[in-house]
């Protein structure tokens, strides 16, 4: 049961919404990469990263991610009504 072929070009609003979903999807990956940066830090020797700086780094990522996430989710919620089709279409694209 193949879904009917989807239109290739979407109207502006739908296009924006798709890109918003892309942002929502990519944020955790950005977070993961940034939070795995400490793997590169030396754990011994003179060039060790100080815990104070590490704390600031980690919490800064956290804070930025939360804000970005909150903004994007709010934007997503505001776009309301047509989300069902969006989600479905998007799922197909994924699988």
Does 66 engage in binding with other proteins (CB under 8 A)?
Answer: yes
CB of 86 to other proteins, least distance (A): 11
Does 85 engage in binding with other proteins (CB under 8 A)?
Answer: no
Cα–Cα distance measured from residue 67 to residue 46, given in angstroms and rounded to the nearest whole number:
35
Cα–Cα distance measured from residue 94 to residue 92, given in angstroms and rounded to the nearest whole number:
5
**Among residue numbers 2 through 21, which ones bind other proteins (CB under 8 A)?**
21
CB of 94 to other proteins, least distance (A): 9
| CB-based contacts of 3, cutoff 8 Å, min separation 6 | 92
Does 33 engage in binding with other proteins (CB under 8 A)?
Answer: no
């Amino acid at each position: 049961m193949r879904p009917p072929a989807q239109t290739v070009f979407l109207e502006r609003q739908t296009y924006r919404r798709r890109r918003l979903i892309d942002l929502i999807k990519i944020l955790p990956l950005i977070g993961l990469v940034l939070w795995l940066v400490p793997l590169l830090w030396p754990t011994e020797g003179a060039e060790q990263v100080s815990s104070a700086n590490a704390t600031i780094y980690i919490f800064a990522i956290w804070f930025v991610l939360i804000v970005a996430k909150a903004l994007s989710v709010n934007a997503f919620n505001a776009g309301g009504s047509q989300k069902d089709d969006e989600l479905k279409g998007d799922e197909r694209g994924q699988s």
